Structure 1
Amino acid sequence: MDMSTNAVLRSEWIKIRSVRSVAYSLLAVFAVTLAVTVLATATVGQAEAGNADYEPLFSAFYALNFGQIAAISFGATAISSEFVNGALRISLTAVPRRGLLYAAKVSVIGALALAVGLITSFATFLVGQMFMGEYAIGLGDTGALRATLGGGVYLALIALFAAGLTTLLRSAVAVLSTLIPFLLIVSFVVGDVAGDVAQYLPDQAGQLVLHQNTDGDLGPWTGLTVTAAWAALALVAGWSSLRTRDA
Structure 2
Amino acid sequence: MTGMSATAVLHSEWIKVRSLRGSFGSLLAVFIATLAVTVLVFPTVGQAEADNGEDLLFGAFYALNFGQIAVLAFGATAVSSEYLNNALRVSLAAVPNRNLFYAAKMAVIGACGLVVGLLTVFATFLVGQAFMGRYTLDLGDPGALRACVGGGVYLALMALLAAGLTAVLRSAVAVLSILVPFLLIVSFVVGDIAGSVADFLPDRAGQQVLYQHTEGFLGPWAGLAVTALWAAAAVLAGWWAVRRRDA
User: Is the TM-score greater than 0.5?
Assistant: yes
Q: Deviations over 1:18-64 (max 9, x none)?
A: 1011111000000000011111111100111111x321100000110
**CA distance in structure 2 between the aligned counterparts of 1:128 and 1:59, rounded to whole angstroms:** 10
The code of the aligned residue for 2:16 comes to: K
| SS of the residue 2:156 aligns to | helix
2:42 corresponds to 1:28: no
The code of the aligned residue for 2:115 comes to: A
2:155 corresponds to 1:155: yes
Between 178-187 and 215-224, the greater mean CA deviation after superposition: 215-224
The code of the aligned residue for 2:98 comes to: R
Q: CA deviation at 1:173?
A: 0.4
Runs of 4+ residues over 3 Å off in structure 1: none
For 1:5-24, list aligned pairs within 5 A. 5-24=6-25
For 1:83-162, list aligned pairs within 5 A. 83-162=83-162
The code of the aligned residue for 1:155 comes to: L
Residue of structure 2 in register with 1:207 after alignment: 207
**CA distance in structure 2 between the aligned counterparts of 1:175 and 1:94, rounded to whole angstroms:** 27
2:86 corresponds to 1:66: no
TM-score scaled by length of structure 1: 0.98
The code of the aligned residue for 1:227 comes to: T
Residue of structure 2 in register with 1:4 after alignment: 5
| SS of the residue 2:226 aligns to | helix
**CA distance in structure 1 between the aligned counterparts of 2:49 and 2:18, rounded to whole angstroms:** 40
Superposition CA RMSD, Å: 0.7
The code of the aligned residue for 1:121 comes to: V
Residue of structure 2 in register with 1:56 after alignment: 56
Query: Is the Cα–Cα contact under 8 Å of residues 34 and 63 in structure 2 kept in the other structure?
Result: yes
Q: CA deviation at 1:195?
A: 0.2
| SS of the residue 2:62 aligns to | coil
**CA distance in structure 1 between the aligned counterparts of 2:86 and 2:208, rounded to whole angstroms:** 41
**CA distance in structure 1 between the aligned counterparts of 2:191 and 2:48, rounded to whole angstroms:** 27
Residue of structure 1 in register with 2:42 after alignment: 41
TM-score scaled by length of structure 2: 0.98
Residue of structure 2 in register with 1:181 after alignment: 181
**CA distance in structure 2 between the aligned counterparts of 1:54 and 1:201, rounded to whole angstroms:** 22
- 5+ residue gaps, structure 2, are none
Q: CA deviation at 1:134?
A: 1.2
The code of the aligned residue for 1:22 comes to: S
**CA distance in structure 2 between the aligned counterparts of 1:95 and 1:55, rounded to whole angstroms:** 49
The code of the aligned residue for 1:196 comes to: S
Q: CA deviation at 1:217?
A: 2.2
2:226 corresponds to 1:226: yes
| SS of the residue 2:146 aligns to | helix
| SS of the residue 1:215 aligns to | coil
**CA distance in structure 1 between the aligned counterparts of 2:19 and 2:215, rounded to whole angstroms:** 44
**CA distance in structure 1 between the aligned counterparts of 2:34 and 2:60, rounded to whole angstroms:** 11
Q: CA deviation at 1:215?
A: 2.9
**CA distance in structure 2 between the aligned counterparts of 1:215 and 1:34, rounded to whole angstroms:** 26
The code of the aligned residue for 1:101 comes to: F
Q: Deviations over 1:171-230 (max 9, x none)?
A: 000001110010011000000000000000000000000001123321000000000000
Q: Deviations over 1:97-125 (max 9, x none)?
A: 00000000000010011000000000000
Q: Deviations over 1:113-155 (max 9, x none)?
A: 1000000000000000001111111111110100011110000
